Structure 1
Amino acid sequence: MEYDDVGEDEDSGQAKVTVRVPLGTRLALTSGLERHQARTQQMKAHHRRQLKGLTPAQRDILRAEQRQELDVLRSRGSLLDKRDRLIAFGLRQELQARGWDHSWWTGVEWEEIPMGLVPAAPVSTNPETLSLLLPAILVEQVRSGCWFSSRESIRRLRQWRADDTAAVLQSREGPPQEEYRRLAAGVTTTGEVYRSGIRRGLQAALHLPTPPAVTALATLTDS
């Protein structure tokens, strides 16, 4: 099964995540960020000009208003000038689309899913890696959503593995192999969700109704 490296930082409320992505993803992210970073610099230059001639107290008030303006634009997805910010925005959209954008998950047993229960995609499918720092709540929602949406398939896979010998997995064809594939297809991996979130973030950054014209990105939702 596909697992992503996750590390918690309780002090900052952030979580470090390493995600495997298709070739070309890094380049697409750089391209998507460029226009937003240029706009940020333009806005900051404008803000600095507004501060001229003001008293210290007036500058403090205006700086707070300027920061709020930037925060609002970033929260709306109108200003995605950092890679992690872009991906977090896309991931929120993905969670909302899946109905996973809530915090009432209970009884999550993610750590109990055996490694290798679901076959991982070849590394060649997603040869690049991204190390991200994301809000911990988003990371937990992804893991919890994957567990709850997949738990019945996971239960059946466990039973299937208990009833059949490991040698079945090495067979070339046949009903048992097809049944295994069918059950495995019902498991949603965290990698799938993160890649879909990256794709949504890129769409928002580039203001396009369809994904960016990078051939490799067509496989962003693959395992």
Structure 2
Amino acid sequence: MEYGDVGEDEDTGETKVTVRVPLGTRLALTSGLARHQAWSQQLKAHHRAQLKGLTPAQRDTLRGEQRQALDVLRSCGGLLDKRDLLIAFGIRQELQARGWDRSWTGADWEEIPMGLLPAALVSGYPESLSLSLPAALVEQVRAGCWASSRESIRRLRQWRADYSAAVLQSRDGPPEAEYERLAAGVTTAGEVYRAGVRRGLHVALRVPTPPITALAPH
């Protein structure tokens, strides 16, 4: 399978998905996360130092400001110290690049029937990632994939109706070439997730982290 939902957690508003990824992705994620986790520890140590000598009320206020500062950094990609956070950030960038960063509420969309696609399109990635992503983000991906693939899926279904199962097994001839051409017009959720992983890694590995003192609340 290209990807599979494990379930949705109503308490956290997250959906669990499994994504197939290229060899070496796990190692790259470990490297990118280690860099940001080390920087996160420095920032938190700086935050703790700021709390010294304050009254309880002042500490509570400053802790709230510090948590808010961390949330802002994580949301904008300045601090990607958790794997799911890094990938969710990259997926949002990918959706923005595709013009899919919109609400699909009320849109007419369905799950893409993965069994309709050639095996080569939905396999061939040796590693897998089990992720917990915001449910709204997962829905954006699904809806965007359907909206961009709907016509190709309709034609694939028609192709299936027009040709026998024996033709699907053939390696030669125009019928299969047409089938593969139509299948190439389908954008799967796994494709979008992999693009999101690449974007998240690009930021985590290449964008320099700013000085600690420039980010910590004063």
Same-fold call, TM cutoff 0.5: yes
* Matched residue type, 2:91: L
Q: What secondary structure does 1:15 align onto?
A: strand
Q: What secondary structure does 2:115 align onto?
A: coil
On the 8 A contact 2:2/2:122 being kept in 1, the answer is no
**Number of equivalenced pairs:** 206
1:161 to partner: Cα distance: 0.4
Query: Counterparts of 1:6-21 in structure 2 under 5 Å?
Result: 6-21=6-21
The corresponding residue for 2:64 is 64
Aligned mates of 1:55, 1:121 — CA distance in 2: 63
The corresponding residue for 1:78 is 78
CA RMSD of aligned residues (A): 1.6
The corresponding residue for 2:143 is 144
* Matched residue type, 1:107: D
The corresponding residue for 1:116 is 115
* Matched residue type, 1:127: P
Q: Does 1:126 align with 2:125?
A: yes
The corresponding residue for 1:201 is 200
Aligned mates of 1:61, 1:148 — CA distance in 2: 46
Aligned mates of 1:4, 1:64 — CA distance in 2: 37
Aligned mates of 1:120, 1:199 — CA distance in 2: 23
On the 8 A contact 2:3/2:20 being kept in 1, the answer is no
On the 8 A contact 1:4/1:190 being kept in 2, the answer is no
1:28 to partner: Cα distance: 0.2
Runs of 4+ in 1 over 3 A off after TM superposition: none
The corresponding residue for 2:212 is none
Aligned mates of 2:2, 2:65 — CA distance in 1: 44
On the 8 A contact 1:74/1:80 being kept in 2, the answer is yes
Distance verdict in 2 for CA 1:114–1:37, change over 3 Å: closer
Percent of pairs with identical residues: 79
* Matched residue type, 2:18: T
Distance verdict in 2 for CA 1:119–1:199, change over 3 Å: same
On the 8 A contact 1:2/1:120 being kept in 2, the answer is no
Aligned mates of 1:6, 1:93 — CA distance in 2: 24
The corresponding residue for 1:107 is 108
* Matched residue type, 1:109: E
1:108-134: CA deviation from partner (whole Å, max 9, x where unpaired): 121xx4442001338872111111111
Task: State which drifts further: 176-185 or 3-12.
Answer: 3-12
Q: What secondary structure does 1:18 align onto?
A: strand
Q: Does 1:39 align with 2:39?
A: yes
On the 8 A contact 2:20/2:128 being kept in 1, the answer is yes
Distance verdict in 2 for CA 1:114–1:173, change over 3 Å: same
1:15 to partner: Cα distance: 0.8
Distance verdict in 2 for CA 1:185–1:17, change over 3 Å: same
The corresponding residue for 1:215 is none
Q: What secondary structure does 2:166 align onto?
A: helix
Point out where structure 2 has 5 or more consecutive residues left out of the alignment.
Answer: 208-218
1:80 to partner: Cα distance: 0.4
The corresponding residue for 1:213 is none
1:2 to partner: Cα distance: 2.9
* Matched residue type, 1:102: R
Distance verdict in 2 for CA 1:54–1:82, change over 3 Å: same
The corresponding residue for 2:216 is none
On the 8 A contact 1:5/1:19 being kept in 2, the answer is no
* Matched residue type, 1:36: H
Point out where structure 1 has 5 or more consecutive residues left out of the alignment.
Answer: 209-223
Task: State which drifts further: 174-183 or 7-16.
Answer: 7-16
